[in-house]
Chains A and B, each alone.
Chain A
Amino acid sequence: MPHGGAEMRDRHGRPIGPGARVRVGEDQGTVGRLEPEYGTLTVVVEGRTGKSEKMVRASAVEVIEEAHPPHAHPAAHEHELSFIQRYIFSQDHKIIGIQYLLTSLLMAAVGGILAMLIRMQLGWPGTKWGLAAALFPGGFAGGQMKPDFYLAVVTMHGTIMIFFVLTTILSGGFGNFLIPLQIGARDMAFPWLNMMSYWLLVPAVAVLLASFFVSGGAAGGGWTAYPPLSAIPAAAPGSGLGQTLWLIALAILIVALLFGSLNYITTILQLRTRGMSMMRLPLTIWGLFVTAILMLLSFPVLFAAAIMLLFDRLGGTSFFVPSGVWVGGRVLEHAGGNPLLWQHLFWFLGHPEVYVLILPAMGMVSDIMSAHGRKPIFGYHFMVGSIVAIGLLSFLVWGHHMYTSGMHPLVAMGFMTTTLAIAVPSAVKTFNWLATLWRARIHFTAAMLFAIGFVSLFVTGGLTGVFLAQPPVDIYMQDTFFVVAHFHFVMASASLFGVFAGIYHWFPKMFGRMMHEGLGKIHFWLSFVGIYATFFPMHFLGFAGAPRRYYAVGPFEFLRDLQPLNVFISLAAFGLGAAQLLFAANFVYSLFRGKRAERNPWRATTLEWEAPSPPPHGNWGETLPVVHRWAYDYSVPGAAEDYLPQTAAAPVPAGASGGGGSAA
């Protein structure tokens, strides 16, 4: 029942102002924001366990004391926080998001340097490298890269890029920053837990990087860490302390990610603002929401596996090591374990993890494509449905990593069926993106270019998945460079392009400054060409049967002719790596010198663009935004502007609002 003007009155007809002391039933508290439109207000109640917010009708309130000037403004909070509380041990979701973002970008630099080392070795095996040998003295002998260092580099490249870059930047970085802003909340549901989530990432990173400097070097068993190789210290140099630290780092990271995902799920379910029904959520939030559920359900499995493997290594148990294992000239004392148990546990996380890296990127790309194409996302309901379908199916496909492990052929057939089934929602998403671009008005910003690039990379990588899903074909392709090409397209590059699109798009909101568009575009051209030049030829290495994780061509005849291809890939990879320096320069430059950003520079519809750039502590000033429509009202016929923010209440001419606009 709308009240006249902004005037609100309590049960006795006395005016209610922000900051007034009021009684609500048994409780007393301070008036927070007023929502005259609905005749409601929020009251901050001081209970025994701390402050909590209550939403009540004005007629249920009794004013005890008028507000004291100056009244309590959420921004006034900031003065009470020290520098350390505000920027270091911050409980503000935006700061935590930015901390996650910057840490992940630093780790991306580390992972990228490792990739360059891999390509140096594969392009020109046996070459003496003066500079690299000086930088990594332990990894080179006589200027040549040592095999144990090569394996450590491969392992750490995968581990860092998957767990410490893409997982953390998407869920930790964008998830933290965007979820409260896009659903109209002031912060996460559990700000303290959120702070802990970031401050567990820091020791996880420290332990992981420290493992490079221990005896035997970093873990060298691949990012999949299959035992017994990873369980028996005598099996390889990297299976020593380095592997132990790897497991500890991963275990700490998992706890951090679980804190995060609990927060994301609760926040999305509980703290959506008025009018923000689930079916009005931007697809970014849907992607992050399903991702958080996947993380919450699958990461504990890897946590358990990591602890079990630590026990095998340090405590004399035999979860993964069978009897009679003969390594380094003697028979070990382990008995009764099964190495395949690890593979099941690992991939039960490992496959959903792939979607943890792609679903948030899919959501962000959808929103960016819609905003910069000035057109509603096509098929919102199918988009949501396919995200949920991919999430569900992702728990039923892990066996396709194990077709050659000796599983029963009928089981393999089952996994083939579920794996190919997951291609259906993926195809629906692709076609919906294409339909979104049809008759759009595309503004080729750096963000939009990366979003379009994402679709291309996702399609290319997704299609090679069709080969690997079929056991008869996979038998040949498994553990070859074809797999490397496949996942670098569909998971790594596509996800990375989603990240870049997201950074170019949301940088103004995060830091209050625009990134340099021209540099951003050059970054896109070089990256797009660089990705294809680097990873497309890898398919042919795979066709020829070249196994992955080979230190050199070795004695094999069938690998000799492939060397020119490897040289080309290495050169392309160096170009791709160098192009990222452009991004780093742009990021730092824009942080300090970028053009000041307006509140809504892209004229986008979603809620975060209603807040100042950057948003203050508490995000929204005194009143929360109220949502009246879905997130995709671009180019609505008859509307004055070519977009209607989610908060716009103005009625749309009958028949113009599409099915997606209705609240579910």
Chain B
Amino acid sequence: MANGPKGSNARTTGFLLGGLILGMVVLGGVALTLYARGRWWLPPLASAHGEAIDRLFYATLLVTGVVFIGVHVLLALFVMRYAAAGEGRALYWPDHRRLELTYTIIPAVALAIMVALSGVVWARVRLTAPPADALDVDVRAEQFAWLVRYPGPDGRFGRTDPRRIDHRTNPMGLEPSDPAAADDIVSRDLHAVVGRPVRVRLRSTGVIHSLFIPAFRVKQDAVPGVTLETWFTPTREGEYEIACAELCGLGHYAMRSRVIVQSQQAFDAWLGEQKPSLGAGQ
């Protein structure tokens, strides 16, 4: 290249690269996104707080999409237009303070607006306490399953002790000496009532897991040693999958459970059929 390659050669390469950027990256990217919209996309939303999250997602997709297209179109045009060909030199243009400040300040303002919008959504999703009528459930992750506990008629969760865990008779490790534990109900699935907020107290027995309910836009790590809380309001009846999103060992990929969202009557009926965990296996 030192002696200036044949100009036509450089032009051809420039057009090829520019064409590839326009054709594959820009058009391909946009087309694939539009196609994926109908096939590989966020699962249909089924929670109340998810609406604001999805709106934020689409806003971000729009803004980043415009920048993605704009920058790539410029890049493609420049490589096509400015291939080394013919006589002449490049422009000696070391800097331009005002231009640089412009494209420092515009992204800064845009990102500041994004911080504000995102912050408002975040505050609404996470900084608000669940309503008083929320359904309390205690979710415990273990390798490689989820257990869901309901407090039973007394409305109180009994104490648990990992030393009491027995897969057949006492999977949750309820403490028999605690009267509050006697009526606790333990299930493999999370049953919830449509339209009624669910407050989840999340714990783990051993390693870190993460409670992921894609349709609800919920993800919360389960960290051993601490109890973390999250809450959501299911908006549609149906069955929704629970997955584990934090690598937890060999069975990580198969750590599945379900949220079953029901009407209040169906939920009450289901709850009424459940026997307390302590003694159920005996």
Contacts and interface: CB of A to CB of B under 8 A. Distances in A.
Contact of B122 (A372, A423, A472, A602): A472
Interface string A406-417: 100110110011
**Residue of A409, A417, A441, A661 contacting most chain B CB atoms (<10 Å):** A441
A309 to B, nearest CB: 14
A430 to B, nearest CB: 6
A132 interface: no
A565 interface: yes
B223 A339 contact: yes
A475 B53 contact: yes
Contacts of A545: 42-43, 212, 214, 243
A417 B32 contact: no
B60 A466 contact: yes
Interface string A629-664: 000101111000010000000000000101111000
A424 interface: yes
**Residue of A327, A449, A553, A636 contacting most chain B CB atoms (<10 Å):** A327
A379 interface: yes
Given A406-B226, A466-B114, A549 B252 contact: yes
B2 interface: yes
A147 B248 CA distance: 12
Interface in A363-394: 372-382
A529 to B, nearest CB: 7
A658 B92 contact: yes
Interface in A415-464: 416-417, 420-421, 423-424, 427-428, 430-432, 434-435, 437-445, 449, 452, 455-456, 459-460, 463-464
A656 B228 CA distance: 64
A123 to B, nearest CB: 15
A479 interface: yes
Contacts of A480: 245
Contacts of A473: 53, 56-57, 60, 118
A583 interface: no
Given A151-B247, A326-B142, A331 B225 contact: no
Contacts of A147: 250-251, 253
B122 A550 contact: no
A229 B75 contact: no
Interface in A586-645: 598, 601-603, 632, 634-637, 642
A404 interface: yes
Given A541-B40, A555-B254, A603-B2, A437 B75 contact: yes
Given A428-B104, A460-B25, A552-B253, A434 B84 contact: no
Given A235-B207, A536-B29, A561-B39, A435 B99 contact: yes
A467 B58 CA distance: 10
Contacts of B161: 324
Interface residues of B, number: 106
B103 to A, nearest CB: 4
A472 B40 contact: no
Contacts of A222: 247
B5 to A, nearest CB: 7
A49 interface: no
A544 B43 contact: yes
B168 interface: no
B1 interface: yes
Interface in B73-93: 74-75, 78-79, 82-84, 88-93
A471 B52 CA distance: 12
B32 A536 contact: yes
Contacts of A404: 210, 219-221, 245
A416 B123 CA distance: 13
Contacts, number: 350
A472 B56 contact: yes
A406 B228 contact: yes
Interface string B150-183: 0000000000011101000000010000000000
Contacts of B5: 443
A554 B92 contact: no
Given A460-B25, A541-B40, A658-B95, A442 B249 contact: no
Contacts of B256: 554-556
A455 B205 CA distance: 46
B121 interface: yes
Contact of B41 (A325, A443, A540): A540
A337 B207 CA distance: 13
A603 to B, nearest CB: 6
A338 B100 contact: no
Given A472-B125, A547-B212, A561-B40, A340 B223 contact: yes
A330 B173 CA distance: 12
Interface in B1-16: 1-2, 4-5, 10, 13-14, 16
Given A456-B72, A471-B122, A556-B241, A636 B92 contact: yes
Contacts of A557: 241
Nearest to B13: A444
B135 interface: no
Interface string B60-80: 110110011001101100110
A528 B226 contact: no
A300 interface: no
A282 interface: no
B162 A378 contact: no
A512 interface: no
Nearest to A148: B250
A124 to B, nearest CB: 15
Contacts of B115: 416-417, 420
A580 interface: no
Contacts of B82: 373, 437-442
Contact of A428 (B28, B100, B220): B100
B48 interface: no
A379 B98 CA distance: 11
Contacts of B88: 441
Interface of A: 147-148, 151, 220-222, 226, 228-229, 232, 235-237, 321-327, 331, 337-340, 372-382, 404-406, 409-410, 412-413, 416-417, 420-421, 423-424, 427-428, 430-432, 434-435, 437-445, 449, 452, 455-456, 459-460, 463-464, 466-467, 470-473, 475-476, 478-480, 517, 521, 525, 528-529, 532, 536-537, 540-541, 543-545, 547, 549-558, 561-562, 565, 598, 601-603, 632, 634-637, 642, 656, 658-661
Interface of B: 1-2, 4-5, 10, 13-14, 16-17, 20-21, 24-25, 28-29, 32-33, 36, 39-43, 52-53, 56-57, 60-61, 63-64, 67-68, 71-72, 74-75, 78-79, 82-84, 88-96, 99-100, 103-104, 107-108, 111, 114-115, 118-119, 121-123, 125-127, 142-143, 161-163, 165, 173, 205-208, 210, 212, 214, 217-221, 223-226, 228, 241, 243-254, 256
8 contacts: A228-B224, A439-B91, A442-B84, A452-B75, A478-B245, A521-B13, A528-B20, A545-B42
The 10 closest A-B CB pairs, nearest first, are A322-B225, A658-B94, A545-B214, A375-B90, A326-B162, A444-B13, A550-B253, A540-B40, A439-B91, A409-B126
